Chains A and B, each alone.
Chain A
Amino acid sequence: MTFDSAAIRRQFPIFEVPATGGTALHYLDSAATAQMPNAVLDAVRTHDASARGNIKRGVHFMAERATEAYGGAREKVAGFLNASPSEVVFTSGTTAAINLVAHAFGQSLKAGDEVVVSELEHHSNMVPWQMLRDRSGIILKYLPVTSDGRLDLETLEATVTDKCKLIAVTHVSNVTGAVTNVSAIVAAAGAVGAKVFLDGAQRAPHGPVNVAALGVDFYAMSSHKMFGPSGAGVLWGRAELLADMPPFLGGGEMIRSVTKDVTTFADPPARFEAGTPPITQVVGMGAAIDWIGTLDHEAVTTHLNRLTERVLNGIADLNGSNGRIKVVGPQGLQERYPVISFEIDGAHPHDICQILDGHGVALRGGHHCAQVFMDAMDLAGTSRASLGPYSDDSDVDALLAGVEDAFARLGVQ
């Protein structure tokens, strides 16, 4: 079946907005934030226009409508993850989810316990563990990266000792698009009784995630990267783990009873949802999951693989002419998603991205919140193209033309 990217694109009103200089928008920054289709935009507006109320505590009509909408979104997320709704905690995003685990699960760790992360991690899956290390005296270890931007698992067995309590790694790299070998991570953790946390922010936009099949213990994802509104995200955790975790934030909703002297706490997931949650955003996230469910994922994957291959081949061709540009990350399509970082010798990512902006191409340049990875690769930063189901050949054409223009303007011979 031929993938109709135009039909997908028509669902996203953002593409009617001219970009810099009145050019068409070629949005290749979906790894930073994805665009929202009409179905999600409409769901958000409809909720606020017809079902807006605070959830759970009110007995009036609107409170019940809002509660139903919020609970409905939780069930959609549970279905997306092949999990129970009671294991789905709504947060403000992946970063908040990781901080929740670092604090609440982290309280069970003592000085000398080990947590393993990697050099490939986004700061959001590194800094909270560093803060835990500084608070609690846990030992933080880093799995290295390979020269093609993947987790280097050669030292996995040696790194994951019987002191390891948690391995926290990315499911898909936000810099290189590389997919982590989750089964190897789970096996290594299982051998020593450690738990596994997966940062799913870059993987979740590409379709349902079967946390049971993955065998992990925690999973996090962000609404705004999966075609939903910003301000909402999910922590999934195994029921028995969440049950043992103390609250992270205190306040309304997460209590059972409060007196001056003693407060008891609600069961999960409410225990971890203090205060009024991002109700509208959560409803939007649910609508985004519905929208993802309308896609033919096999066709989308084939389409994005074809575009990714065009980008990789295009960069290789440009390198063939001057030897100055290379992909930072996997060079082919195996075990990767459509996130492609590249560097141009003698040109700064900011300049590359600025020049590409002149072509209407939205690219991201810099360290991508992965400074440790950049240090490991001896780079200051990269330019990154990240595709979504609305990406098409015109986007790739504009990207490659823009890179050629950057060569000329920046004097890269």
Chain B
Amino acid sequence: MNDALYHKAVMRMAATSKGAGGLETPAATATVDNPLCGDRVTMDITMADGVITDVGHKVRGCVLCQASASTIGEHAVGQRAEDVQRVHGRIHSMLNGGANETPEPWTEDVSAFEPVAPHKSRHQCVLLPFDALIEALATAKSGS
């Protein structure tokens, strides 16, 4: 079980931590907490014409949370809010027993989280960075 969860791809993604450190001048930022465990993700974005142009994050969390944030660091640039919502929904479905139907370019990296599906207590570890990104996008849209 540990081999399935803590496999090379997830460990690599967590170690790579693409986008770690946040942005110097984000257009929007959001911080979300997991009240069950104390994990915290801060997501910074810049946007142009409704498209994410840069993303950075600060993560206080487990390997799964870090790997998920790194996935966002790899693939969020060029995405729109509705794209991110779709990816979030597809990850949620996958974690709840469905197939990995996330669109490219997310598909391969998201597949690293398939072994998390049987562990409901760890689902939010994967989803928390996406929650933060969605909230940052909402902040950007509202202009506040």
Contact = CB atoms under 8 A, between A and B. Distances in A.
Interface of A: 20-21, 348-351, 354-355, 357-358, 365-367, 371, 374, 380-381, 405, 409-411
Contacts of B1: 20-21, 357-358
B11 A366 contact: no
A172 to B, nearest CB: 22
B11 A354 contact: no
Given A409-B2, A409-B6, A351 B38 contact: no
Contacts of A371: 38
Interface size class of B (residues with CB under 8 A): 20 to 34
Contacts of B36: 366
A354 B122 contact: yes
26 contacts: A21-B1, A348-B39, A348-B61, A348-B63, A348-B65, A350-B37, A350-B122, A351-B62, A351-B64, A354-B5, A354-B6, A354-B119, A354-B122, A355-B2, A355-B6, A357-B1, A358-B2, A366-B36, A366-B38, A367-B38, A374-B38, A380-B40, A380-B60, A381-B37, A410-B6, A410-B63
Contacts of B61: 348, 350
Given A348-B62, A380-B60, A367 B2 contact: no
Main SS at interface, chain B: mixed
Contacts of B37: 349-350, 365-367, 381
A409 B37 CA distance: 21
B125 interface: yes
Contacts of B40: 380
Contacts, number: 51
A411 B15 CA distance: 10
Interface of B: 1-2, 5-6, 11, 15, 36-40, 60-65, 119, 122, 125
A380 B39 contact: yes
A381 B38 contact: yes
B13 to A, nearest CB: 13
Nearest to B60: A380
B2, B5, B64: residue with the most chain A Cβ atoms closer than 10 Å: B2
A130 to B, nearest CB: 15
Contacts of A21: 1
Given A20-B1, A367-B37, A411-B11, A351 B60 contact: no
Contacts of A380: 38-40, 60
Nearest to A402: B2
B63 A351 contact: yes
Q: Which 8 A-B pairs have the closest CB atoms?
A: A348-B62, A358-B2, A350-B62, A366-B37, A367-B38, A351-B62, A381-B38, A351-B63
A96 B37 CA distance: 22
A88 B100 CA distance: 55
Contacts of A349: 37, 62
A351 B11 contact: no
A353 B130 CA distance: 24
Contacts of B11: 411
Contacts of A381: 37-38
Contacts of B65: 348
A349 B64 CA distance: 12
A374 B40 CA distance: 14
A410 to B, nearest CB: 7
A366 B62 CA distance: 10
A381 B61 CA distance: 10
B109 to A, nearest CB: 19
Nearest to A359: B2
A351 B40 CA distance: 15
Nearest to A365: B37
